Amino acid sequence: MAPAEAAWPGRRFTAFGCYVLASAALNTVWEVAQLPLYTLWNTTFRTIFIALLHCTAGDVVIAVSALAAAVLLTRSWNWPFVGRLRVAITAVAIGVAYTLYSEHVNTAIRGTWTYSDLMPVVPWLGIGLSPLVQWIVVPSLALAAAARGGAARRCETDKRLSASRGSRAIGGTHLDGRP
């Protein structure tokens, strides 16, 4: 196996790690920002804190599951280097589909949570607008961070490989003509 090929799993892992970290951070911020849109906002600090931990952890599990399913469904085995847009569209679609299901079940059927009067509700769906927008914006930003993280790692790996060969590479080709 060539050194560049051997570096691919590490780069993919770095991109995945960037995705998980960005997803966790962005979902935490989103969950805190949308608290006033739920009746939970009018409870104790402890209840709110536990709900934030629970919801953010659930969001990360959904995000990771959506990404894994998207990679499998699109057969983009070399994500994030190949098939990035296909995976992103599929992952966002899966996240939105799950949100539609979960919000309906938890608000209309189980009554697990309720919206405050501040939550804009999508009339024909009867679910909150904020969670829908969350599952478009947050995964998109997290996937962009993953692409950058993988690209940054790829650049570092390429630099190390070039240095170990004793020549500088420009655009993937060494100055002495080697690929």
Q: Are 160 and 3 in contact (CB under 8 A)?
A: no
pTM: 0.75
Sequential pLDDT tens for the chain (179 residues): 444 444 455 566 678 888 999 999 999 999 999 999 999 888 899 999 999 999 999 999 999 999 999 999 999 888 887 888 999 999 999 999 999 999 999 999 998 999 999 999 999 999 999 999 999 999 999 999 888 776 544 444 444 544 555 544 444 444 444 44
**Per DSSP, what are the bridge partners of residue 169?**
174
Q: Look at the alpha carbons of 104, 85, 147, 1 in this order and tell me if their dihedral is positive or negative.
A: positive
Domain ranges of the chain: 8-161
